[in-house]
Amino acid sequence: MISLGIFGIDAVVFAIVALLTGAGLVWLAMWLAGLISPRSFNPQKGEAYECGIPTRGESMARFHVGYYLFAILFLMFDVETVFLFPWAVKMRALGGEGVLCVAVFFAILVLGLVYAWRKGALEWK
Amino acid sequence: MANLQEKVSRLFPEATFEEGEILLVNIPDAKLHDLVKSLRDDCGFDYLVTIVGMDWVSSLGCVYYLTSSLSKEFVSVKVQTTDRDNPMIHSIADLYRIAGIYEREVYDFYGIIFINNPDMRRLFLNIDWVGYPLRKDYDANPEINPVSIENERQTDHTDSWVEQPDGSIKHERPRVFKEDDFVVNIGPQHPATHGVLRFRTAVDGETIQKIDVYMGYIHRGVEKLCEDLGYMQTLHFMDRLDYFSAHNYHHGLCLAIEKAAGIEVPRRAQVIRVMMDELSRIASHCLFIGTFCMDLGATTMLFYTLRVREQVLDIMEKTCGARMTFNYDCLGGVMADLHPDFVKDVKALLEVLPKNVAEYNKLFTGNVIAHNRLKNVGVLSNEDARSWAITGPSGRASGWACDVRKTHPYSVYSEIKFDQVVRTEGDSLARFQNRVDEILQSKGILEQLLEMLPEGEYCAKVPKVIKLPVGHWFQVVEGCRGLFGVYIESDGSAKPYRLKLVTPGLPAAAVVDHITRGQKIADLITIGGSMDYIVPDMDR
Amino acid sequence: MEMRHVTAQGIPYEAWKDNEYIEKLVTELQESGTNVLVGSLDKLINWGRSNSLWPLTFATSCCGIEFVSLGAARFDMARFGWEVARASPRQADFMMVAGTIVHRMVPVFRRLYDQLAEPKYVIACGSCAISGGPFRKSYHVAKGIEDIVPVDVFCPGCPPRPEAMIYSIMQLSRKIKVERFFGGKNRQESQKEFLAAHPIEDVAAANID
């Protein structure tokens, strides 16, 4: 009997089927669209859209580091939110112990946020 | 005016004068800069209204209109050059910031090069356009300037003719953008530029370093078209410039022609015209609030404000027959009498206005996000507003009391009591709040007008073909976005020799570069929206 | 030739019979031997496409304001499915050319049309887009957009009332409903084929000096 810790075989099978269906539907939609869609080509279609005017200069330009900081911070807190969802679903079953674990997890990340805030990473300079 | 004439002739003995409603000073080109400088510094003429390019077949030249924000007096300066192959006039771009753009327009239409203007490029037409359209000898053959689907040639250089210390003129090619600037096009097709306006923006990350404005993507050549039409026919273009101030622009052009032709408008028609002007103002400001908030992301406001606008348009449709291109004011009065339901409908509108305005304030004006996005964004100081010729509610937000209805009252405005809405902060929030308050002022004006609406004729009898005597006339009115001026020069025939339209949109777009440097791209949208320019208005 | 009983979801039969243009189109298709609305699959796809036409926000002058009114609560284009007006041409279905096209705007306009993704349609809205309008005699105005892009529907007016605009987009919707999606409009051209047929040098950005 395959089992994964506290999860039984049902849960594993469900998880695998859900994953495959999700990926499969996406692939199916894209394949069908590619099969039946009308398509044409002209030189302007492949170019970058800049409100109707051709672009100027190289695309490989230096970008401001502020974009990177915002992106990283967003990514981290987004992942944190993803981790919070499974706990929220099973909140009652996990009880007080669960709340404590999550609170510690949350506090560590809030410390990170406060650090970023104080260092001025949230301002644009 | 006599004082001014004496003063000028003492300092500049080579000047000659023409009397009229506005004093005209003829000056040779060599003394132009000194004269304008002395007018600005010694006589207080701090507002350059317009530069009218002219082609008097034997010579090319310009007529400058200046006014003083204190004494409200007008003066005009005329300068000519007989060299048609290489006409050059000295620039006054260092005295008035808006003169740089006005001179580019004159160069575009007439080919007159302004010496010492740092950016002497065409304004509206393609960089490779052949010829100068408003010259009388312009060849309009479509084969010379065909419609092309090839992209316009782009260049980072501009032209400048600089006077050297020894008196010679040197042609230089300064750069607009540095080589390693990251330049992005915002517009012409963009949901937030309020029309087809192109900002070529040098950005460093999110911060804007410099904006180069390209106009002319809706330049239809209205001024040239008017030179081929009778005076009555020129009226219908006024609806299509600033389509929200359709009545106001019609009113301005009608007043100019009626002044020149000596036509007297019956009182009922005058009151009707002003009522339609104020209704337009309400509708225009409502739409401004809606689209401005939509640009910032508060889409709901558009639906709320368009509800009031639709009510106004219903009132106008019953009388004028159309929703936007009314063509209602005509020479001698208005096209048709008011609909019998007019007074009742306007009273119903005025009743719901205060509730609606309170709703807009509750929804948006006090919102903390609105404050963060509008407060201290795009601050325009009082001197800058006058130097850049920013009139209308945007200019009044910088502390400059420039309402034409108060400074140069026309029609029945001198009999009406209302307040000019002036704020001093000069930021986008002030510009926004000015327009909200003006809606309520217009309500007060309409209430007074409904009381004083007399019976009588709605249109005077005018001849079928209007011929103006030889001369020139200048009339200003308050459009919904600022000062609208009309300059007519007539050579005695049934068609205007020159019809120049002074619109508030041109300075409003030209100043965006000045007040947006150092701010973010999102602030550009806020500033562009709060300056409230309409692009066909500036391009004409 | 009597028009075979054409049906389409959501449009009453009278709207087909009363519509001279659609009648002609259907009879043409029938005469050339193609089966109009060949099968349920065509019908299904056309139903989906025609009921959610997404316009490109393209307004140059006064007609654009009537388009904004069209989007507002009174005339409400959301009830037809068109409220998702995209600013980017890659995501839009059709282009409602509202306003005058002038010489300087022509390359920009053409470029936007080229960047629209197939299947794409154009509605010429207002007399300026149809023929140059009141500005036809001007030195800087293109006399209508028909020479620049292929037009599907013409909507006259100066500006056309929002109700007229609704009618014109409904006409486009009817036109789409009788299209044969498989075959005919559904050309599939690949980039490789195009480049083989039209050798072009490197499509670089415009020359900047």
The residue extents of the domains of chain B are 2-138+161-173, 222-539
Provide the angle, in degrees to the nearest 10, between the axes of the packed helices B342-360 and B428-451.
Answer: 160
CATH class of the structural domain A9-118:
mainly alpha
**Can you list the domains of chain C with their CATH numbers?**
13-177 (3.40.50.12280)
Judge whether residue B155 has pLDDT over 90: no
Q: Chain C residue with minimal CA distance to A38?
A: C186
Reported ipTM exceeds the 0.90 cut:
no
pLDDT number for residue C202: 46
- DSSP category for residue B44: -
> What is the Cα–Cα distance from B514 to B498, expressed in whole angstroms?
32
Confidence of residue A4 (pLDDT cuts 50, 70, 90): low
Query: Could you tell me what percent of chain C has a pLDDT over 90?
Result: 13
Q: Is pLDDT at B260 greater than 70 in this prediction?
A: yes
C160 preceded by a cis bond (ω within 30 of 0): no
Task: Please judge whether B149 and C68 are an interchain contact, meaning their C-beta atoms are less than 8 angstroms apart.
Answer: no
Asked whether the domain spanning B222-539 has the same topology as the one spanning B2-138+161-173, the reply is: no
Average pLDDT estimate for C6-26:
67
State the nearest Cα–Cα gap between A42 and chain C, in angstroms.
7
**Which own/partner contact pairs does B99-102 have at CB distance under 8 Å and 24+ positions apart?**
B99/B48, B99/B51, B100/B510, B101/B506, B101/B507, B101/B510, B102/B48, B102/B50, B102/B51, B102/B506
pLDDT in tens, C79-116: 888 888 888 888 888 999 998 999 999 988 888 888 88
Mean local confidence (pLDDT), A31-35:
83
Stretch 105-144 of chain C: residues touching chain A, C-beta under 8 Å: 107-109, 111-112, 114-115, 118-119
Reported as a single tens digit per residue, the pLDDT across B12-23 is: 888 888 888 888
Q: What is the DSSP letter of B408?
A: S
- On the question of pLDDT at B487 being above 90, the answer is yes
Sheet holding B482-490, edge to edge: B471-479, B482-490, B498-502
| Parallel/antiparallel/unpaired status of strands B74-81 and B59-67 | antiparallel
Class of domain B222-539: mainly alpha
Buried b (16+ CB within 10 A) or exposed e, B52-72: bbbbeeeebbbbbbbbbbeee
Contact C123, C150 (CB under 8 A): no
Q: How many CB atoms lie under 10 A from the CB of residue B185?
A: 21
- Which member of A39, A53, A56 has the closest CB to residue C108? A53
- Given a contact as 3+ CB pairs under 8 Å, which chains touch B? A, C
- The answer to whether domain B2-138+161-173 has CATH 3.30.460.80 is yes
- Cα gap C5→C21, rounded to integer Å: 16
The dihedral of CA B230, B231, B236, B239: what is its sign? Answer: positive
Cβ separation of A53 and B185 shorter than 8 Å? yes
Strand order of the β-sheet with C94-98 is: C55-56, C94-98, C121-125, C153-155
CA torsion, ordered C19, C24, C30, C34, to nearest 10 deg: -90
Average pLDDT, chain A: 82
Give chain C positions within 8 Å (CB) of A45. 114-115
Query: Is B190 close to C140, i.e. CB distance below 8 A?
Result: no
DSSP for residue A41: -
Q: What is the pLDDT of residues B363-406, one digit of tens each?
A: 888 889 999 899 989 899 999 999 999 999 999 999 999 899 99
| Contacts A–B by Cβ distance under 8 A | 36
% pLDDT > 90, chain B: 50
The predicted structure's pLDDT at residue C1: 37
Q: Does the predicted model carry a pTM greater than 0.90?
A: no
Measured over the CA atoms of residue C37, residue C40, residue C42 and residue C44, the dihedral's sign is positive
pLDDT of residue C180: 66
Q: How confident is the model at residue B475 (pLDDT cuts 50, 70, 90)?
A: very high
Cβ atoms of C100 and B218 within 8 Å: the answer is: yes
